[in-house]
Amino acid sequence: MNINPLLRKEFRQRMRTNRAPFVITAYTVVMSLLTFFLLYENVQGQLLPLLPVRSEQVFVILSLLQMMVVALMTPAFAAGSISGERERRTLVVLLTTPLSPLRILGGKILSSSALLGLLLVTTLPLYSLVFLFGAAVPAEVVAVFAFQLFTIVLIATLSVLWSTIALRSGWSTVLSYATVGWMVLVSGAVGYGLQIISKRDPMEFFAAHWAVIFLSLNPLWIEASFEAAVNAPAHAWVEFVAFYCLLALLLTLPSIWRLRPQALRKLPAVKRLSEQDYE
């Protein structure tokens, strides 16, 4: 099996430090305490402690909170992937290997999102608690888990691409968190604002249409739609996937140019650059 050597090196480097087990343990403990607290608050003093409606609220709150946490944590692991190599003067050494720019980017993306994916796996037993209360069916849990994993890889991809395009880790971190801010905060605020306008004036079809478009770009809203917590079109997640995958593809070309300008020498709009442009 031909495993990307950069990915293998990144896995070993990240998992052999004390940081990985500490983050996993702390995250699991905090999420466990939060889950049991929410379950306790929703069943105490109730004659029907197994009421599915109340436990469903726990499932929605827990999944949305986890989505928010991993969305904010991913840029911290990925935003300095390439720019950090450039600042440590190790990027030239990496470029002397036979790895193509796409394999370099792929290795950095997968290694950056691996720890966050492991965090999701460790919290799966907590999701299983909702089955005891009849709050969700297995299909909902699988859909939520798969979408969270996709969102982690997506944000890691955008962060690594920004890290490649930007020359410094500071700028790549700002651009990565600005992207996450757009996904989580701006799209949601604009979408719900337009939705309020459309409800006050039923004739505002323009506002209602664009409200759905903006909300379809928000990962929290898409995840809530999997849990039937919001009224959303059946295939709203397709717009989410299509928009951000297109954005990633648009950023891939300048990222390859930043890594290895000669890889795009056949394009007429790209001029030949010297080796110093790698750094």
pLDDT of 156-197, one tens digit each? 999 999 999 988 889 999 999 999 999 999 999 999 998 888
Q: Write down the pLDDT at residue 7.
A: 74
Residue 267 in any domain: the answer is: no
The boundaries of the domain holding residue 177 are 5-261+273-278
Residue 266 in any domain: the answer is: no
**Given a cut of 70, is residue 132 above it in pLDDT?**
no
**Given a cut of 90, is residue 198 above it in pLDDT?**
no
In the numeric block, which tokens belong to residue 258?
């930043």
Mean pLDDT, rounded, of the chain: 82
pLDDT of 83-121, one tens digit each? 888 888 888 888 888 888 888 898 889 888 888 888 888
Residue 169 in any domain: the answer is: yes
Residue 148 in any domain: the answer is: yes
Residue 268 in any domain: the answer is: no
Residue 88 in any domain: the answer is: yes
Q: Write down the pLDDT at residue 201.
A: 74
Check if the beta carbon of residue 216 is closer than 8 Å to that of residue 235.
no
pLDDT of 234-263, one tens digit each? 888 999 999 999 999 999 988 988 887 665
Distance CA 170, CA 155 (A): 17
Quick one: pLDDT band at residue 8, thresholds 50, 70, 90?
confident
Residue 59 in any domain: the answer is: yes
How many other C-beta atoms can be found within 10 angstroms of the C-beta atom of residue 22?
10
Distance CA 245, CA 154 (A): 8
Total structural domains within the chain: 1
pTM: 0.87
**Given a cut of 70, is residue 147 above it in pLDDT?**
yes
219-226 and 187-200 helices cross at what angle (nearest 10)?
Answer: 70
Residue 45 in any domain: the answer is: yes
Distance CA 180, CA 182 (A): 5
